[in-house]
Amino acid sequence: MDCLFCKIVSGDIPAQKIYEDDQILAFNDISPQAPVHFLVIPKKHISTLNHLTADDKELAGHILLTAQHLAKESGCEAGFRVVMNCEEHGGQTVYHIHMHVLGKRQMTWPPG
């Protein structure tokens, strides 16, 4: 499948991995928008949040808890932000579901 993040999972494209297990992978974003900016992805290809199903409940929870754990490990004790961009209006550019974790700077709201 011609998917950038599937290629990172398979090792065909290199990434700065920070966590890996049999189900998920976390790696630093190539274009960081904060001092801490990494992505947590499932190893299996799910294209968007709209394609998540009830069968993926445990996987989705695992992604969320790993984001929390890695944010702590990355020194985000003052807080952090998680973002999942979904399809066109969400600003999604890579169609393999991913959770952004951003930290170590003050975030603002609302987003642009």
Active site residues: 98
Tell the smallest beta-carbon distance from residue 68 to ligand AMP (Å). 19
| 80: β partners | 103
Alpha-helix runs per DSSP H in the chain: 4-10, 57-73, 87-90
Which of 1, 2, 12, 30 lies at the binding interface for ligand AMP (CB under 6 A)?
30
Q: Which residue has the tokens 């399809």?
A: 87
Which of 46, 92, 99, 101 lies at the binding interface for ligand AMP (CB under 6 A)?
92
Which of 38, 67, 80, 96 lies at the binding interface for Zn ion (CB under 5 A)?
96
- Indicate whether 11 belongs to the interface with ligand AMP (CB under 6 A): no
* Strand, helix or coil for residue 65: helix
